[in-house]
Structure 1
């Protein structure tokens, strides 16, 4: 027996949100599928909040650091990354979420969502042309850095536990790995 699932468009998804159909659910749209988001544990919330404050202070007026807010991607996806470092477009974001061309890089904190973040979201972000994507593995306290999107996948993957990293968008900025991991 073949099972066919219904795929949702961004327009469908936005209409469901506007109608309140998804009001009581933590979901995101991934390649046309409405996917439940994992419940956020204490370690996840703490680490994300600390990294958000650190990056906001470090980047200043150069970028906007957004937490748990959607980004709109052309591959029928509207994920809600834990942290999105985006262009400062002010009120323009009243009419749309950041598009790929507005995104400097994305960060996901992962414990129970590790497989989804490493396998599903990395492909979605690479396919959309997001130049840099970081996953913080809260189980092993590692930062996994994905760069160089090619043919729907990242050609470069690096695992870091200490030292500094400079994001592609801001090569003059040195980010302390421990400030992102928050051990």
Structure 2
């Protein structure tokens, strides 16, 4: 019989510090999908788009961990954070304005495993970019652990982050 272990944030950080390609979701450690060239290029383009659009109004935090107490430390492809120094502590839900997940092979995992964690944490907006279908799913306004709005953008439509009225991001 296999033994299953659950981790809190402190134990996870102590045991897995410096280990690449894993994340903690609701106390369980998951191996992340490898990042291919299409995925990496899309993340790089999004980082540039957000930096150009937002300047110093936010911190653009690519492929770094965030803390969602008590049992999750996911690594979204991109987080847009309130401007402050994160050198001493990882961002928490109160710091997060928008998360972006780029899904090449991970769409099911991102939508069914990570999205509910983000909603329960009260993260105001999550974008999941489906590379296979060229669609951007925007999940907005969490309430009681679910997102109440889910517009889907088609290629050519610009995304408008809730936290930055008037800002438009070309995602495709």
- TM-score (normalised: structure 1): 0.88
RMSD after superposition: 1.6
Indicate the residue corresponding to 2:171 in structure 1. 180
- Partners in 2 of 1:75 and 1:174 — Cα distance? 34
1:1-183 matches, cutoff 5 A: 5-18=4-17, 23=19, 25-90=20-85, 93-161=86-154, 162-175=156-169, 179-181=170-172
5+ residue gaps, structure 1:
none
Q: Which runs of 4+ in 1 moved over 4 A?
A: none
For structure 2, the 5+ residue unaligned runs are none
Q: CA deviation at 1:4?
A: 6.8
Give 1:34 deviation, angstroms.
Answer: 0.5
CA contact (8 A) 2:158 2:171 kept: no
Aligned residues: 171
Whole-angstrom distance in 2 between the partners of 1:5 and 1:52 = 37
Residue aligned with 1:46, SS: helix
Alignment partners' CA distance in 2, 1:165 and 1:95? 32
More helix by share: 1
> 1:134, 1:51 → 2: CA distance?
12
